[in-house]
A and B are shown apart, each in its own frame.
Chain A
């Protein structure tokens, strides 16, 4: 049973470029959340997708956008990259009909470096 898979694992971009990160949720999960984790910090919530719609959003600018496909996989797009966007981007999956103890399963992340 595959867990959460993310691609690519590492990415180097320059300021002003655009990037697309991809995530496939754990089998049976229908909800995907994206987090940004700067070095030495805890993950920060970007947004969550359920039924192909953005259901919740954290304090991130509109440069960060996403999409969920009918097979529940998801993409995170970041436009006009800034140096400060350098971080580990984590995808987490769960069930949309959340039981109280439902936990998130995380992928290993995409390490994005902006030069």
Chain B
């Protein structure tokens, strides 16, 4: 079957680093996306990986291993505004449909 798994919740303190893991089993693979979603708001794009390796964008980095069906999102220098749900999503074909995990709620404490 098709499955995307990520932890339900993670807690970290301001200024720290948090790593959100995502494992996937899908019928095809054409890219992995990370989105951030604050409560009651639209998901906003954070990062995209289609080849193995690390993509860095400011305080956020994302890693992909296609052979292991594994990705992580790394959030550095955590700020209070980073408290949100982080969604891992896989695109299986070339038409754009995304399959999402349930999301990881990150709680940043002072």
Contact = CB atoms under 8 A, between A and B. Distances in A.
Interface of A: 4, 31, 33, 35, 40-45, 48, 55-56, 58, 90, 94, 98, 100-109
Contacts of A45: 97-99
Given A42-B87, A42-B103, A90 B95 contact: no
Interface residues of B, number: 25
- B interface: dominant SS: loop
Given A4-B42, A42-B103, A107-B42, A33 B30 contact: no
Contact of B96 (A4, A94, A109): A94
Contacts of B31: 100-101
Given A48-B95, A98-B94, A106-B35, 5 more contacts: A33-B97, A41-B102, A56-B97, A100-B31, A103-B48
B43 interface: yes
Contacts of A42: 4, 87, 89, 100-103
B50 interface: yes
Given A42-B89, A43-B87, A98 B42 contact: no
A28 to B, nearest CB: 15
